[in-house]
Amino acid sequence: MRKNKIIILIISLIVAIIVISLVSNRYSTLKEKETDFAVRDTASVTKVFIADKKENSVLLERITSGWTLNDQFVANTKVVDFLLSTMKRLRVKAPVPLSIRTGVISRLASNGIKVEVYQEVYRINLFNRYKFFKHEKLTKVFYVGDATQDNMGTYMLIEDADNPYIVFIPGFRGFLFSRFSPKPDDWKSHVVFNTKLADIKSVALKFYEDPENSFKVDIEDAQGNYKMTAMHSGEVLESYDTLKLLNFLTSFRDLRYETRMNNLMTPMKLDSIINSTPVYELTLVNRFDDTTKVPMFKKHSMPESIANAYEMLVPVDHDRFYGLINDGNDFVLMQYYVFDKVLYPLSDYRN
């Protein structure tokens, strides 16, 4: 009898230990999931979707040559890389104190930014060595809120988790929500032209105020045979400065604008400039017959409000000008320092 009691006691202890262990592990797993904000393998990230409650959203998708934005634009690779680096380094500083927990959850629900991360994963992964059946999967969803009172952390919440946390990046002093912008403008590439010489079919430069200096260059073959034509008269130049022309053509490899102006001007002023006569117009056709046309407009050297009233008296800005890119969707500010090398007139190329 005594022996049976000992056996029952031992069994009871074992069962108790197993139950405690299971509960502990379950609690530990839940806690780990609640605090698992970091995206450790950013190389496997295929898409990132970011949205707010004001109908702003961005979809960043990885392609062979970089990243796309909302299936329509080229994304700024540097900004996307910064986002990936941020997500990789996210760490939990502390749980949100109970005294403010309700308020934080309420703000996250009403104003939080939703972040969805998609990655390439394997259905079968043995010891991280034998991997089979790769597919894309939504691996992480979390909400980004406002900053803590000392601006040293950011409130975040994993989707379906009960508790929000204060998240930070070790070694960084500041908040993080600005890195998860849901506004497309913050992710657009500043590239205007990004075409290698080997991919150019033709380039035309039109001078509206000096049409005799407008010209077109056709690349006839890969051996460096070009046809340079005066657009005003149709004259084909028999002799021209080949070194200058080569410098002109190779400059289209990387030309970028400074600032997007769509939201920095009144619609009335924007329409006024766009509907005015451009100063220049660059048209590039690549070997796939894709055409990029960029009309360029004068910029006054004084604020536009003053220029509106004294248009004829205000001098033209010789450092910057305006351009219309992305099929007329984006009105941007450009620098002569960057674009001067592709704005020389025909007379500069004549021998």
How many helices (H) and strands (E) are present in the chain, helices listed first? Answer: 7, 19
What pLDDT is attached to residue 25? 42
| pLDDT tens digit sequence for 59-101 | 999 999 899 999 989 999 999 999 999 999 999 999 999 999 9
Name the 3-class secondary structure at 226: strand
- Check whether residue 220 and residue 241 sit in a common domain: yes
Residues 202 and 174 in one domain: no
Question: 224 with 155, same domain?
Answer: no
* Predicted TM-score (pTM) of this structure: 0.72
Point out the domain boundary residue: 186, 215, 231.
Answer: 186
Confirm whether 23 is domain-assigned: no
Is residue 255 within 8 Å of residue 191, measured between CB atoms? yes
Mark whether 196 and 254 lie in a shared domain.
yes
Angle value at C-alpha 160, between 154 and 163, nearest 5 degrees: 45
Q: What is the pLDDT of residue 28?
A: 41
274-333 confidence digits (pLDDT tens) = 999 999 999 999 999 999 999 999 998 655 554 454 455 557 888 999 999 988 889 999
Residue 30 covered by a domain: no
The structural domain count of the chain equals 2
Establish if 26 belongs to a structural domain.
no
Average pLDDT, the chain: 88
Q: Does residue 112 have a pLDDT over 50? A: yes
Band the pLDDT of 26: cuts 50, 70, 90: very low
Question: In the Cβ-directed half-sphere of 239, how many Cα atoms lie within 13 Å?
Answer: 1
- Shared domain for 273 and 202, answered yes or no, is yes
Q: By C-alpha distance, which of 36, 55, 48 is closest to 119?
A: 48
59 is a domain residue = yes
Looking at the structure, do residues 229 and 274 belong to the same domain, yes or no?
yes
Single residue among 153, 171, 186 that ends a domain in this structure: 186
Question: Both 108 and 69 in a single domain?
Answer: yes
Domain assignment present for residue 27? The answer is no
Last residue of a domain, one of 126, 153, 186: 186
204 lies in which domain range? Answer: 191-348
Same domain, 204 and 151: no
Q: Are residues 82 and 174 in the same domain?
A: yes
12 part of a folded domain: no
pLDDT digits (tens, 9 = 90+) for 179-212: 999 999 899 999 999 999 999 999 999 999 999 9
pLDDT more than 70, % of the chain: 87
Instruction: Return the DSSP state at 22.
Output: H
